Every structure is written in structure tokens, then in C-alpha cells.
Amino acid sequence: MVATSFDAERTYDEEAFNAETVFESERQKVVLGFFEPGQFIPVHAPESDVAITVQSGRGVVHDAGETYRVERGDVVVVEAGAARGVRADDGTRLEATLVTAPPPSDAEHAPVREGLRSGVFDPRET
């Protein structure tokens, strides 16, 4: 069993969102995401489902071209293969649990790394 809390895992990074992995198996990965204002997970489309539960703050979740406003207590589920991304609003930190099943491959996260490197949230908008 894994037991932790946002307080125990909370770590922010000035450069990019921080994902603290609290559990990972071949079937599922659970991370606590910590976003400074305006930070994001770039839009990408891995072959895994993701469930996002917002612990605090406000932001947006992109799902296959739709944008959903989220805040504390909201739960969003995005199906495998759909382009998705998460961004904290300007002026507020965002904390969320992200559960992916199965965990995305390293290759599927290449667009995330590129988006973070280039500072582009949604490459489809460039």
C-alpha cells in the first residue's frame, strides 16, 4: 500500500510543473502535479486514459480540442489517444492528482518534453 499526502509531497519548480510519482506499475501511474501560475503539461496524445482530480487552484484541461475550466474538487477523465494538456491559471497555483492507465511510454512523452523546452502549451495552435 502507498499512503501519502499533498503536504508530504508538495514541491514546486520555478522552471516547469513538478510531477511527484507516488505509485507506478505496468498497469497504472499515480502522480501529484504541482503547477506554478501559468505552468502546464503540454498537449499530447498518449495511448493511456488519465483521470485528473484538482486538489487546489484553478486552470484548464484540454481534451481533444475542447477546453474545460477546472477548480478544486473537479474530476476530468480523458480517454486514451485524445490530445490532452493541463495548465494552471495565471495568478494561482494548481495541485492535482493524475492517474494514467497504462502509464505512457517515454516516446509518448516526447511531445511533453518538446513543449516544455519550447514553452508551447498546445502545438496545434502555432
Q: What is the model's pTM?
A: 0.94
Q: Is residue 124 part of a domain?
A: no
Q: What percent of the chain has pLDDT over 70?
A: 99
| Residue 20 bridge partners (DSSP) | 32
Q: What is the pLDDT of residue 126?
A: 65
Is residue 59 assigned to a domain?
Answer: yes
In a domain, 47, yes or no: yes
Residue 65 falls inside a structural domain: yes
| pLDDT value of residue 21 | 97
Can you tell me the distance from the alpha carbon of 76 to that of 6, in angstroms, rounded to the nearest whole number?
Answer: 19
19-48, pLDDT tens digit by residue? 999 999 999 999 999 999 999 999 999 999
**Residue 49 structural domain:** 19-118
> Tell me, what CATH number does 53's domain have?
2.60.120.10
In a domain, 82, yes or no: yes
The owner of cell 498546445 is 122
Q: What is the pLDDT of residue 65?
A: 82
Domain count, the chain: 1
Angle at the Cα of 32 from the Cα atoms of 51 and 118, rounded to 5 degrees: 90
Instruction: Identify the segments of the chain with pLDDT beneath 50.
Output: none
Grid cell of 32 as nine digits: 501529484
Residues 37 and 58: their CA atoms lie apart, in Å, by 9
